[in-house]
Structure 1
Amino acid sequence: MAIQVGGKKPYNEINITPFVDVVLVLLIIFILMTTAAVQGIKVDLPSASSAQTLDVQKSRVIAVSNDGTVSIDAIPVSMAELEAQLRASIATTPDLAVILRGDRAVQYDRVMQVLDICSKVGVPSLGMASTRPPGGGA
């Protein structure tokens, strides 16, 4: 069915250019927001030759920076707060996975304290983040 506007030639097509512009802007915003949410605390990870990938859908990320600061999901916490938050997370999500990101320059003692807390609260799945070495496997 053709529509005639003000005595001009009838048209029967809808201009979708504004719709496409809006969709592309929303896509760009979505991409920027998801990458900003994933970044977390910058940690210089050690490399591993055979690293496996964990599913991060039901996980919490614990980062230990080079100055010894411990963060859970990019929020700095004390060891007592870390234990409380892990207990609460396990209570709500029994199959919780914890990903530990330890800086290569951090003291081994600090990482052991975090591992001890994870063991004490009963974390069912624990993975340690690493980077692949240059020229490493796929």
Structure 2
Amino acid sequence: MQVQNDAQPYDTINITPMLDLAYVLLVIFILMTTAGVQGLTMNLPKPSNKPSTEKHDVKVVQVQQGGGVTINGAGVSMAELESQLNAAKASDPKFNVMIKGDAKAPYAGVVSVIDLVNKLEIENVGLVTGRIGS
């Protein structure tokens, strides 16, 4: 009785399980990186077709290049800014705040002003994208 040995060595490797694992790791990586992204919550005003006849005070808060803050052109600290915005809100609850950041200003300064405005629950807030008065 003779046994035939038809077993030949494999000349290819099955990479399908390795590709499945790579795709699963890729999906997990994508999900984990997008879950870590955080943002700011702001209540932006809704556009209206009716022109407003109401006139409210406007406070322009600008974050300077060195991190300093001005309100309507006068330099203030964050504590003074908070007290001035509180006083303006007490006199006119619907006053407007426009936040402008210098192109070279630290982003953290702009975020801290936005956080302050949110903390004071000021409703009419705008972010200035162009130049004011220049």
Q: Is 2:82 the counterpart of 1:71?
A: no
CA contact (8 A) 2:56 2:92 kept: no
Paired residues in the alignment total 79
Question: CA RMSD of the aligned region, Å?
Answer: 2.1
What does residue range 31-46 of structure 1 map to in structure 2 within 5 Å? none
- What's the counterpart of residue 119 of structure 2? 120
Q: SS where residue 131 of structure 1 aligns?
A: coil
- What's the counterpart of residue 59 of structure 2? 60
Give how far 1:57 is off: 4.8
In structure 2, the CA distance between the partners of 1:99 and 1:124, relative to structure 1 (3 Å rule), is same
What is the TM-score of this pair, normalised by structure 2? 0.54
Give how far 1:131 is off: 2.1
Q: SS where residue 68 of structure 1 aligns?
A: coil
One-letter amino acid of the structure 2 residue matched with residue 86 of structure 1 = L
What is the TM-score of this pair, normalised by structure 1? 0.53
User: Comparing both chains, which one has the higher relative contact order based on Cα–Cα distances under 8 Å and sequence gaps of 6 or more?
Assistant: 1
One-letter amino acid of the structure 2 residue matched with residue 82 of structure 1 = L
**Could you list the runs of 4 or more consecutive aligned residues of structure 1 that deviate by over 4 angstroms after TM superposition?**
none
- Structure 1 gap segments, 5+ residues each: 1-51, 133-138
One-letter amino acid of the structure 1 residue matched with residue 63 of structure 2 = V
One-letter amino acid of the structure 2 residue matched with residue 94 of structure 1 = P
Q: Which has the larger radius of gyration?
A: 2
| Percentage identity across paired residues of the two chains | 34
Quote the Cα distance in structure 1 between the aligned partners of 2:64 and 2:75: 10
